[in-house]
Amino acid sequence: MPLKKNLRQMFFWVLAFTLLIAMYQNVKSVPREKQIPYSEFKAKLKAKEISTVLISPGLIKGEFKEGDKKISFKTISLSDPKLIEDMETAGVGSFSGEADKSWITSLLLNVGWILIFVFLWWFLFMRQAQMGGKQAMGFGKSKAKQQDLKKQKVTFKDVAGCEETKEELSDIVDYLKNPKKYRRLGGELPKGVLLYGPPGTGKTLLARAIAGEAGVPFFTSSGSEFVEMFVGVGASRVRDLFERAKKSAPAIVFVDELDAVGRSRFAGIGGGHDEREQTLNQMLVELDGFEANEGIILIGATNRPDVLDTALLRPGRFDRRINVPVPDIQGRLEILKVHSKKVKLAEGTDLSVIARHTPGFVGADLANIVNEAAILASKKDKKGVEVGDFEEAIEKMIAGPQRRSRIISDREKKIVAYHEAGHALVARSLPGSDPVHKISIIPRGPALGYTLQLPLEDKYLTSKTEILNKLCVLLGGRAAEELVFSEITTGAQDDLSKVTNYAQKMVLEFGMSDKIGPISLKKDEAEVFLGRDIMRQPGYSNETAKNVDDEVTRIVAECHVKAREILSSSRSVLDAIAARLIEKEVVDASEMEAFFSAGKSAA
Ligand code: ADP
Ligand code: MG
Ligand code: ZN
């Protein structure tokens, strides 16, 4: 190994140099002169005992006789203008001066020390770099590991509860298996695939499964490996990683936690982060650099697709984006099945009970629960893991601080189900609303559930009817709660703030209120922004302000009434949707449609 040899050589030189200097200093100080005071020197001079004198700046050396012996001496020279005269009268055998030659010695000495320090620093630095990457030798080499395919192979079977995601990934696997089939017709596969979803949903696992399925070399690395203290190191690691991958193409390069490098470049306050920016730029260069038919696919994973730099998401880069969602009740059951293969279940243990009790749990949570349950059961010397052990494990997990918010009781689940069903049913009943795409009561961030409406086409103009419909839909959640539970919850807070906002806009900005008329009362926002207008005056009279408030209240009240009417007139449909939501947590468009038409024909 060249590095080892270098190191040894360097070490030798450092040692040799140190020895040399030490020796030089020793030799120099071998003739030990006797240090005497200047007065003694003068006394000896007067007594004519001094035989030779050598005067250098600040120092006088020489020899004096003591009996038969000659003894070397030195003394600090003092300003003594009569010294030469005295020496002449004393008849000193030889006296001479010496220029200050010490500068050359000191220079040599200093250079020596500097060299030693440089060598030492270099030596330490190289050692650190060597320790950094076990196989990699340089600082700028990628630490990415090439996964051993034979060892612990992960396949799609190990990833459960995300069938759609696997479906989307399977053609990439297929491409890597027989690239010729795809190239024949000139098809190009994406260079970059971005897996995104909440933490613990199995993104890393999926990437490993792709490699296992495709049977190609798989280079794993993590975004944080590219973020180093020194500018340029990350970029060179990226370069190195892609070089290695290209050598063994077709191959997969996986960058986990992509947001560590891929964060938007302009997000920081004041001054950029040079290192990360360079790394990101290098990654973009690599992505642009390789042709799609080179057989390299870059897979990135992130929990935060929203913070990624838009340049990464441009066509030709990470243009295939695949969502890895929080699993629904069926998905959770599948994941539990996968993980409980490793443990011994007691006879008759029904995992679907566990799945039902864990809304909002992700794959990592469920894996954890299975493991915890197995430990609990072993502690009690049971023959197999029972439902009770799972329940205990779930409770333990929920008690943990970060999960507390995730779990919902059965009653809460019912309320959320009716709330979302209310939104959906109102939306479906009002002509001209955006079609309901999906209803879900799987918690997602702060929201306990959501109803997804997708517009049929892009819209740039919105009519008054459409806004009113939207208000009805937003109020449908609260209305359903009132209708069914005769009690309301805080769950509608977000809906209500949206409702108020829209209603105010209708009156103030869009001129959609008959009472106020086609007037936009909104003030130019730029003024506020510039801070000139802090004591902002409404720009209209108190009377108008009252009218605005009245109008907003009226619009909201009317929409509320309408939403309630819709829901109470098709209560059976509402009940059916809510029941299905409680059972399955997700209802899609076609199921929704079936319930709706069943309700229609029954009426
Ligand atoms: P992410 O990368 O999305 O944060 P991981 O892939 O690291 O999540 O998942 C952590 C662990 O959780 C996995 O090793 C696996 O044991 C378990 N896990 C997560 N999702 C699933 C899934 N869909 N199916 C089976 N196991 C899963
Ligand atoms: Mg991960
Ligand atoms: Zn709502």
Residue closest by Cα to atom 17 of ligand 1: 364
**Tens of pLDDT, residues 172-205:** 888 878 777 777 777 677 788 899 988 889 999 9
Cα 423 to ligand 3 centroid, rounded to whole Å:
7
Strand 145-146 to strand 218-222: parallel, antiparallel, or no bridges (unpaired)? antiparallel
Phi, psi of 434 (to 5 degrees): -65, 140
Cα angle value 433/434/438 (rounded, 5°): 125
- Dist CA 362 CA 162 (whole Å): 11
Q: What's this model's pTM, rounded to 2 decimal places?
A: 0.61
**Tens of pLDDT, residues 135-148:** 344 556 666 666 65
Cβ 332 under 6 angstroms from ligand 1: no
CB 335 within 8 A of CB 327: yes
Pick the more confident residue, 203 or 250. Answer: 203
- Dist CA 415 CA 582 (whole Å): 10
Pick the more confident residue, 9 or 128. Answer: 9
Residue 414 confidence class, pLDDT cut points 50, 70, 90:
very high
* Cα→Cα distances 226→143, 269, 306, Å: 9, 21, 20
Number of H helices, E strands in the chain: 21, 14
CB 584 within 8 A of CB 441: no
Structure tokens at 380: 């009690």
Ligand nearest to the CA of residue 202, numbered in listed order: 1
419's CB contacts (< 8 A; 6+ apart) are 449, 477, 478, 480, 481, 491, 492
Mean pLDDT of 245-262: 83
Q: How many CB atoms lie within 10 A of CB 351?
A: 20
Number of residues in the chain: 603
* Cα→Cα distances 310→139, 150, 315, 540, Å: 29, 37, 10, 43
- Taking 70 as the threshold, does the pLDDT of residue 2 lie above it? no
In one-letter notation, the amino acid at residue 258 is L
User: Which atom of ligand 1 is the closest one to the Cα of 161?
Assistant: 23
Structure tokens at 416: 């959320």
pLDDT score at 469: 92
pLDDT score at 271: 46
274's CB contacts (< 8 A; 6+ apart) are 231
- Taking 60 as the threshold, does the pLDDT of residue 401 lie above it? no
Residue 444 confidence class, pLDDT cut points 50, 70, 90:
low
Instruction: Report CA torsion sign: 99, 100, 103, 109.
Output: positive
pLDDT score at 29: 55
Cβ 159 under 6 angstroms from ligand 1: yes
Domains and CATH numbers, the chain: 2-103 (3.30.720.210), 145-323 (3.40.50.300), 329-397 (1.10.8.60), 410-602 (1.20.58.760)
Strand 436-440 to strand 450-453: parallel, antiparallel, or no bridges (unpaired)? antiparallel
The beta strand positions in 108-260, using DSSP E, are 145-146, 192-196, 218-222, 251-256
Cα 354 to ligand 3 centroid, rounded to whole Å:
27
pLDDT score at 526: 46
Strand 296-302 to strand 145-146: parallel, antiparallel, or no bridges (unpaired)? unpaired
- Dist CA 224 CA 261 (whole Å): 7
Cβ 258 under 6 angstroms from ligand 1: no
Substitution candidate for ligand 1 out of 169, 203, 205 with most atoms within 8 A of CB: 205
Cβ 283 under 6 angstroms from ligand 1: no
**Tens of pLDDT, residues 257-315:** 888 877 766 554 444 566 677 778 888 888 777 665 577 888 999 988 888 888 888 87
**Tens of pLDDT, residues 64-81:** 887 777 888 888 877 777
Catalytically active residues are: 420
Alpha helices in 29-162 (DSSP H): 38-46, 83-90, 102-132
Helix (H, G, I), strand (E, B) or coil at 518: coil
CB 396 within 8 A of CB 366: no
CB 224 within 8 A of CB 350: no
pLDDT score at 367: 93
Across the chain, what does the average pLDDT equal? 80
In one-letter notation, the amino acid at residue 311 is A
Cα angle value 291/294/297 (rounded, 5°): 90
Mean pLDDT of 140-160: 71
pLDDT score at 250: 80
**Tens of pLDDT, residues 539-559:** 678 888 888 899 999 999 999
- Taking 90 as the threshold, does the pLDDT of residue 245 lie above it? no
595's CB contacts (< 8 A; 6+ apart) are 573, 576, 577, 580
Structure tokens at 40: 């003694």
Of 165, 147, 255, which Cα lies nearest the Cα of 201?
165
Mean pLDDT of 422-444: 87
Residue 576 confidence class, pLDDT cut points 50, 70, 90:
very high
**Tens of pLDDT, residues 360-391:** 888 999 999 999 999 989 988 888 898 888 88
Helix (H, G, I), strand (E, B) or coil at 345: strand
pLDDT score at 208: 87
